[in-house]
Amino acid sequence: MEIRLQGVEKVFGRGARTVRAVRALDLVIPSGEFVTLVGPSGCGKTTTLRMIAGLERPTAGRIFFGDRDVTDWEPRDRNVAMVFQNYALYPHMNVFRNLAYGLRVRRTAPEVIDRQVQDTARVLEIGSYLDRKPRELSGGQRQRVALGRAIVRNPAVFLMDEPLSNLDAKLRLTTRAELKRLHLELRTTTVYVTHDQLEAMTMSDRVAVMHDGVLQQYDGPAVLYERPVNTFVAGFIGSPPMNFLPATVERSQTGMALQVAGVTVALPDPLRRALDQRAERRQVVLGVRPEHLRFQSPQVAGVLPARVFVVEPVGAETYVDLLVNGHRVVARVDADTAVSVDDKVGLVVDLRRIHLFDGETGQAIR
Ligand code: ATP
């Protein structure tokens, strides 16, 4: 089922206490896709999900399921199933009855209930504990039963709000993979809310990055990573995050170049052409991902002078925190790189992979 949001707004409160939780949101969630709404706390992602569910009425704009305008429909008429962070299972019912409950309420025939519960249990691999009570299950198993309750009804749309956030870190990883696998099997249109960019990146066909109620970018994970539209998206997607350094545009013999930390950096062609149309001495922000930095001797010409602040080994690789002209920068290097605190190093930037942003608006320069 395709979901379409058209100019959707949500305003809470009145007068001085007004909160514009969601502003002028246009979003198309293609049928069968897994789409994630991601952003920091308060950005409006839960409100958006609740409007899709029908639990919240938009202040303005329309919501379509396929070609039907559902804006004024009750939640129960929308054929959506929700999974929340706090999955409330019925404690006195075993797993089978927990799964069957929603179907019973709808007066589904017992043999149909039996088949749908068994099918769901097979998909979720919970078939071997259908007669256990929730208290006899681990947190991960309980969360699978909660998912099962959503799946068993075979809804047109799944809406999930941080369903993994109550699980411990390891279980979160395995359940994340299982959810993704499940989506590949069922292909039910899914809208997923999280503040965790890694969850968004790993599971989704498309990710909508929100900030202060405003959609910043809506793209596939690879595009978000490689072509962020502004400094907010660039800094939010990726871990450790993208490094930002203030820079000035200068004219050099070969066209426009950048002054960064007292060093002149030549630019690759497309960026140089983009900057040729801009005023000289203009302030920009240079964005570099941690994996696009390398170490050199500080004596080599053209390298950025840096001092090592801390070294953080994480196993397969090492994050090196550096100070460049008073700015903190993180480099992601091989675990066997010889580097110690207070070393003076030269940083080499992979110029083909840099990002430039307007110094005032933060918009990407391309
Ligand atoms: P979180 O990750 O913390 O849940 P979120 O991105 O999901 O954040 P929302 O819950 O959608 O954010 O909230 C967006 C804004 O709207 C916030 O400023 C919040 O305080 C406000 N808000 C949400 N619900 C209400 C409400 N019922 N009444 C008043 N303000 C609300």
21 Cα: distance to centroid of ligand 1 (angstroms)? 6
Protein residue closest via CA to atom 17 of ligand 1: 42
Exposed (0-12), middle (13-18) or buried (19+): which is 199, by Cβ within 10 Å? buried
Rounded-to-integer distance, Cα 177 and Cα 159, Å: 17
pLDDT band at 280 (very low <50, low <70, confident <90, very high): low
Task: Using the structure block, give the residue that is written with the tokens 């007066």.
Answer: 107
Output DSSP code: residue 28.
E
pLDDT band at 97 (very low <50, low <70, confident <90, very high): very high
Looking at per-residue pLDDT, the higher value among 2 and 174 belongs to 2
pLDDT band at 175 (very low <50, low <70, confident <90, very high): confident
pLDDT band at 163 (very low <50, low <70, confident <90, very high): confident
- Degrees (nearest 5) of the Cα angle 312, 313, 316? 145
- Omega of the bond prior to 240 within 30 degrees of 0, cis? yes
pLDDT band at 330 (very low <50, low <70, confident <90, very high): very high
48 Cα: distance to centroid of ligand 1 (angstroms)? 10
Q: What are the DSSP calls for 290-330, one per residue? A: GGGEEEE-TTSTTPEEEEEEEEEE-SSEEEEEEEETTEEEE
Q: Which atom of ligand 1 is nearest to the CA of 39?
A: 6
Protein residue closest via CA to atom 5 of ligand 1: 42
pLDDT band at 173 (very low <50, low <70, confident <90, very high): confident
Q: Which atom of ligand 1 is nearest to the CA of 48?
A: 11
Tell me the per-residue pLDDT of 223-276, one tens digit each, with 9 for 90 and over.
999 999 999 999 999 999 999 999 998 887 777 888 998 898 888 888 888 877
pLDDT at 331 > cutoff 80: yes
- The radius of gyration computed from the CA coordinates of the chain, to the nearest angstrom, equals 25
268 Cα: distance to centroid of ligand 1 (angstroms)? 43
pLDDT at 7 > cutoff 90: yes
Where does ligand 1 bind, in terms of residues with CB under 6 Å? Answer: 12-13, 19, 21, 39, 41-47, 195
pLDDT at 133 > cutoff 80: yes
Tell me what pLDDT residue 292 has: 96
pLDDT band at 166 (very low <50, low <70, confident <90, very high): confident
Protein residue closest via CA to atom 20 of ligand 1: 42
- Omega of the bond prior to 290 within 30 degrees of 0, cis? no
Specify which residues 145 forms β-bridges with.
none
Protein residue closest via CA to atom 15 of ligand 1: 21
pLDDT at 185 > cutoff 70: yes
Rounded average pLDDT over 63-79: 95
218 Cα: distance to centroid of ligand 1 (angstroms)? 20
CA dist list (Å): 31 to 34, 151, 190, 192, 310: 9, 17, 9, 14, 47
> CA 266 from chain center: how many Å?
33
Rounded average pLDDT over 321-331: 95
Output DSSP code: residue 242.
P
Rounded average pLDDT over 12-31: 94
Protein residue closest via CA to atom 16 of ligand 1: 21
Protein residue closest via CA to atom 9 of ligand 1: 44
pLDDT at 281 > cutoff 70: no
Tell me what pLDDT residue 279 has: 64
pLDDT band at 324 (very low <50, low <70, confident <90, very high): very high
Residue type, 155: P
Whole-model pTM? 0.91
**Biggest alpha carbon distance in the chain?**
81
Element (H, E) at 274: helix 269-276
Of 56, 48, 95, the C-alpha closest to 75 is: 56
Rounded average pLDDT over 207-223: 97
pLDDT at 323 > cutoff 70: yes
pLDDT band at 3 (very low <50, low <70, confident <90, very high): very high
Task: Using the structure block, give the residue that is written with the tokens 């411990």.
Answer: 168
321 Cα: distance to centroid of ligand 1 (angstroms)? 34
> In the predicted model, what is the mean pLDDT of the chain?
92
> Which range, of 66-70, 253-257, 294-298, averages the lowest pLDDT?
253-257
Cβ-Cβ contacts under 8 Å for 105 (sequence gap 6 or more): none
45 Cα: distance to centroid of ligand 1 (angstroms)? 8
SS3 188: coil
Rounded-to-integer distance, Cα 240 and Cα 56, Å: 35
Q: Which atom of ligand 1 is nearest to the CA of 213?
A: 14
- Which domains, from first to last, does the chain contain? 3-232 (3.40.50.300), 243-358 (2.40.50.140)
Tell me what pLDDT residue 169 has: 83
pLDDT at 150 > cutoff 80: yes
Instruction: Among 5, 17, 19, say which to mutate for ligand 1: greatest number of ligand atoms within 8 Å of CB.
Output: 19
Rounded average pLDDT over 6-15: 94
- Contact between 306 and 348 under an 8 Å Cβ cutoff? The reply is no
Q: Which atom of ligand 1 is nearest to the CA of 44?
A: 11
First vs last C-alpha separation in the chain: 35
Tell me what pLDDT residue 107 has: 87
Q: What are φ and ψ of residue 227, in 5° steps?
A: -135, 60
Protein residue closest via CA to atom 10 of ligand 1: 46
pLDDT at 86 > cutoff 80: no
Tell me what pLDDT residue 278 has: 66
Count CA atoms within 13 Å of residue 125 on its CB side.
7
Rounded-to-integer distance, Cα 295 and Cα 333, Å: 9
- Contact between 25 and 48 under an 8 Å Cβ cutoff? The reply is yes
Q: Which atom of ligand 1 is nearest to the CA of 13?
A: 29
Tell me what pLDDT residue 250 has: 85
